[in-house]
Amino acid sequence: MRIGLLGGSFDPVHHGHLLAARALRETLELDQVRLIPAAQQPFKTAGHGASPAHRAAMVELAVTGEEGLALDRSEVDRPGPSYTVDTLEGFRARWPDARLTLLLGADTAAEFPSWREPDRIRSLAEVVIFRRDGPAAPAGHQAVVGIPRVDISATEIRARVRAGRSIRFLVPEPVADYIAEHGLYR
């Protein structure tokens, strides 16, 4: 089995995330892409707009019924900072025979050398960089996959919610309903 791992804040998950996950699954011929909301990102000191539980719930709503896409709660359910190496070791224990592919946006990949145990990460999973007309892959990364360019940002979505503006077409409808129901990002 080939499993793609796509981590991030997903604060909130939006159509750009989902289009990237679908394109990567198809291009790399992955059996599934697991979207992994970070509980506490080591490099993100400002925190998140929504709790890990809310962000996981939104990802679950976004991928329900989407063949080959799934929520993975491994970082949300683990205490402490969300280190990729720990996540990959957990995946390796759960699926020892799976081919794991860590999916990194080009901007995130630029920070990869400063991550905890980058060499161990490379030993646990193939690292594939994706980009939208952005910078070339950083040195040391072999595979680069182009994905459709969609200008949607979680920052913009949170600002629109705070301003009372519509987020229709930016996020899946169940995610927009969840944000409204729980009063997130106000």
What would the pLDDT profile of 121-151 be if each residue is shown by its tens digit? 999 999 999 887 644 555 555 557 778 788 8
> Coil, strand, or helix at residue 111?
coil
Query: Is 183 inside a domain boundary?
Result: no
Query: Is 62 inside a domain boundary?
Result: yes
* Nearest alpha-carbon partner for 122 in 139, 140, 98: 140
> Coil, strand, or helix at residue 176?
helix
Query: Is 172 inside a domain boundary?
Result: no
CATH of the domain at 93: 3.40.50.620
Query: Is 39 inside a domain boundary?
Result: yes
Query: Is 176 inside a domain boundary?
Result: no
* Domain count across the chain: 1
Range of the domain at 108: 2-148
Residue 80 C-beta-side C-alpha neighbours within 13 Å: 4
- Helix 52-63, helix 173-182: angle, nearest 10: 150
Query: Is 132 inside a domain boundary?
Result: yes
CA–CA separation, 169 and 133 (whole Å):
22
φ, ψ of residue 129 to 5 degrees: the values are -100, 140
Q: pLDDT per residue over 99-114, tens digit each?
A: 999 999 888 888 899 9
Query: Is 139 inside a domain boundary?
Result: yes
Q: pLDDT per residue over 65-105, tens digit each?
A: 999 999 999 999 998 889 999 999 999 999 999 999 999 98
Query: Is 173 inside a domain boundary?
Result: no
Cis amide linkage into residue 12, ω under 30° from 0? yes
